[in-house]
Amino acid sequence: MSTVALAMRDSGAMLRRDFTHSKRNLMMTISGIATPVFMMLLFAGVFGGAIGPQGIDYIDFLAPGIIIMSAGTSSAATAVKVCQDMAEGIIDRFRTMDIARSAVLTGQVIGSVIRTVFSAVLVVAVALLLGFSPTASFGEWLAVLGIYVMLTFALTWLAVAFGLKAATPAGANSLTLIVQFLPFISSAFVSPETMSAPVRWFAENQPFNPAIETIRALLTGGPIGNNAWLAVIWAVVISAVGYLWARKQYSRPKTK
């Protein structure tokens, strides 16, 4: 069997292990999937009439931002699970086993991406019930999925690195807070034009904003501009940083 085939087989085994752990830690899994839905219900139902931009239904403005936000909120569960594996010593055991070294982390990443995509599907379903009216064609929906998966993949590798780096699960969760809260300082909830100049500059140039603007444009028929390329570039950069950092941490034995 070739090296690639062995790596795929071992990654599949680790993916099954990841799903088993997700079922055993059901509350954490449900929390990661459902939190974006609760945020959408909160902002659409409570704050929407006060902070929504003029000329557009707030749910149409909000839904793309919550879709992207779901990619960040799911990262916490991934970081915590990886840190728990490190604390329990199972990662050290995997290092001594005759399995592809990449499979342990790859299985975690694939499992997290699948759960996060499910969370985004749930967000879209609830948004439609709240009156979300996208105008996207089938091809544009595929483009939305592509941008979303790229960003999710990038943030998941970063979350894995956080989990390998942190000393405790609580510490791993804390490291992901910046990823979870960055969407709040973007165009996810309000237009940056309403922000003060320094905050507006940050909101328009931080990693999440191009993805939010691209998905919003694809779903509602607005202009994309250069946001799509910026979203792809950010995803590639974050993926590279997360992957290289995670691989370095994984190759380094955990000190007591």
Mind listing the pLDDT tens digit for each residue in 129-181?
988 999 999 999 999 999 999 999 999 999 999 988 888 888 888 888 888 88
Q: Label residue 256 by pLDDT band (50, 70, 90).
A: very low
Confidence of residue 102 (pLDDT cuts 50, 70, 90): low
Please tell me the distance from the alpha carbon of residue 29 to that of residue 12, in angstroms, as a whole number. 20
**pLDDT computed for residue 54 by the predictor:** 63
Q: Do residues 78 and 105 lie in contact, with contact meaning Cβ atoms separated by under 8 Å?
A: no
Residue 55's pLDDT band (boundaries 50, 70, 90)? Answer: low
**DSSP letter assigned to residue 132:** -
Under a CB-based contact definition with an 8 Å cutoff, are residues 92 and 254 in contact? yes
The Cβ of residue 121 has, within 10 Å, a number of other Cβ atoms equal to 14
The per-residue pLDDT for 142 is 96
Q: What is the mean pLDDT of residues 31-41?
A: 84
Average of per-residue pLDDT values in the chain: 84
pTM score, two decimals?
0.86
pLDDT band at 232 (very low <50, low <70, confident <90, very high): very high
With a pLDDT cut of 70, the percent of the chain lying above it is 82
pLDDT at 181: 86
What are the CA-CA distances from residue 59 to residues 45, 198, 227, 248, 253 (Å)?
9, 27, 21, 42, 48
Q: How far apart are the first and last CA of the chain?
A: 37
Residue 55 has a CB neighbour count (10 Å cut-off) of 6
**Residue ranges per structural domain of the chain:** 26-251
Distance, CA of 227 to CA of 202 (rounded, Å): 15
